Amino acid sequence: MILDLETLVYHSLNSTASALWELLAEPKPEAALVEALCEQYEVSPEHCSVSVRGLLAQLEASKLVSEKTI
């Protein structure tokens, strides 16, 4: 669960999204995020890459991350 302190809106994350959120504690290239998640979960790099891009887009749209954070 993430609380946006500006809007006071809570965002619920599943386990994979939570793992990605934790990886974003330090800026990393998208490829490094995909690699780390592929190691943690049994998923193909192609599927993981699409999912990571989608979640990052949602987080950016909600202003929870920016390109500088990624």
44: tokens are 């193909």
Q: How far apart are CA 70 and CA 67, in angstroms?
A: 5
**Alpha carbon distances (Å) from 48 to 18, 21, 22, 57:** 14, 14, 16, 14
Give the model's pLDDT for residue 64. 82
What's the pTM?
A: 0.80
DSSP readout, 11-66? E---HHHHHHHHHTTS---HHHHHHHHHHHSS--HHHHHHHHHHHHHHHHHTTS--
Give the model's pLDDT for residue 68. 65
Q: What is the mean pLDDT of each run of 10 residues along the chain (70 residues)?
A: 74 89 91 96 94 92 75
